[in-house]
A and B are shown apart, each in its own frame.
Chain A
């Protein structure tokens, strides 16, 4: 039954995407817009095919994914460490939280000029901006996760005479991780957005830069091709994390 369910879900997904692409193509060919910059998916996929063949697309995708993962990993490590400290200690909470609450509303894209001044137009600037912007969901979810470890489970740790360290690893961390993981997922989605933005700003090799160049040179088909590639990257990483979630939390009801 489970295999059938998967086949049905895949079929529904593929059918709808094909219908969407067909409608797009038809709109371009027979729709009211006479603009020569409005390109259909057939032309866009032709560009993707050509760039696959000449290998240039691999470089872009590789650079974008590496940058995104780098920033996201940095954000996740900092977010989880800070969040765990804040969620477990009132003192750290009172010290750090007001400052963090003031930094949090800053749009990551508004921080880019500052980051460029500090780091220059380079990879470090990009990773720093991605990390800054994608840290918040991880941080806040981690704080929430540690604050909401059920009192009953803390008492179980107490009656079993677990030390602080053992109680942290055996009870608090696994309990909080259920909240942390969705934060990681949201963070990764933000990391992809900021990767594209910083690539456009700093002219760093990647799919974002491809968009920038396509726009500059009026190559609409390249533009749509790059958008499709970014969509595919986002879809794939989300699927990977969803599978990871199912593996990590087998006890949660599906």
Chain B
């Protein structure tokens, strides 16, 4: 975080107006820039555009949510930021450098937690997989894993296998493995979509405190508008056919947020109506 701020040269100049109108926080150095990103298949008459002309910036330490109906390409967009896919046109920059391939500094929490964990490794060994262990000795590794186990509430399950855990616990393991990467950017693809409401809410709160404590930038994809408003500093709404930006909404709700209080606030409901009208009303 400290190395990123003003030291990274001209990045401060890229900060767009959306950052300046933020009510609750000061201007942040930019972490992610998406410039005219597009995804299309085929040529000529058969050309199918999933999304095009997507441009936005995400500030360091920001929780940035992307919502949209299924088919708008939000997962593809996130995979492009991760470096798992390349945009067919446009470019994506992380801390000023183009994203060409996946990197440890950009951790990805996959939607399908069941397929993102190594089933033959215990919880502990799965988390350790995220760490760059070459420069660490045994006790340093154990200490760091212990700490992550505690933070994510997995201490009691350390020696169990993923198949022995509930969905919520498995997703916690994936988040812990991503944190073990010491990422500067956390990319999350509908991470809580398959979980029950109670588990989802507690993981939402855990994510927010984790992101605040470790000052990580988070890009969070969801189709749940309330989840986006509850978590986000800003919410980007994507329309479909083809995918394009409908609006970027500043969420001025104060932090820390609370499952009851925040969701009942007039401002929360107002944003919800606005987004609902934009996305579902179309």
Q: Is the CB of B116 within 8 A of A249?
A: no
Q: Is the CB of A171 within 8 A of B104?
A: no
How many angstroms between the C-alpha atoms of A158 and B102 in the bound complex? 6
- How many residues of A are counted as interface, with CB atoms below 8 angstroms from the partner's CB atoms? 18
Residue in B84, B115, B118, B163 whose CB lies within 8 Å of A158? B84
A150 nearest CB across to chain B (Å): 5
A99 nearest CB across to chain B (Å): 33
A161 within 8 A of B: yes
Q: Flag B244-273 by CB within 8 Å of A: 1 or 0 each.
A: 000000000000000000000000000000
B246 nearest CB across to chain A (Å): 29
Residue in A152, A160, A171 whose CB lies within 8 Å of B112? A152
Residues in B neighbouring A156, C-beta threshold 8 A: 110, 116, 118
B274 within 8 A of A: no
Q: Write the chain B residue with the least CB distance to A171.
A: B118
How many angstroms between the C-alpha atoms of A218 and B115 in the bound complex? 61
Tell me whether chain B's interface is mostly helix, strand or loop, or mixed.
loop
Assign chain B's interface to a size class. Answer: 20 to 34
Residue in B102, B115, B118, B162 whose CB lies within 8 Å of A159? B102
Residues in A neighbouring B107, C-beta threshold 8 A: 159
Q: Flag A215-229 by CB within 8 Å of B: 1 or 0 each.
A: 000000000000000
Q: Is the CB of A251 within 8 A of B161?
A: yes
Tell me whether chain A's interface is mostly helix, strand or loop, or mixed.
helix
Q: Flag B127-170 by CB within 8 Å of A: 1 or 0 each.
A: 00110000000000000000000000000000001111000000
B218 within 8 A of A: no
**Residue of A155, A160, A250, A251 with highest tally of chain B CB at under 10 A:** A160
Known: A153-B118, A156-B116, A159-B108. A170 touches B162 (CB 8 A): no
B1 within 8 A of A: no
How many angstroms between the C-alpha atoms of A153 and B112 in the bound complex? 11
Known: A159-B107, A159-B108. A249 touches B120 (CB 8 A): yes
Residues in B neighbouring A171, C-beta threshold 8 A: 118
Residue in A160, A249, A251 whose CB lies within 8 Å of B104? A160
Interface residues of B in 84-109 (CB under 8 A from A): 84, 101-104, 106-108
**Chain A residues in the interface with B (C-beta under 8 A):** 150, 152-153, 155-156, 158-161, 170-171, 174-175, 249-253
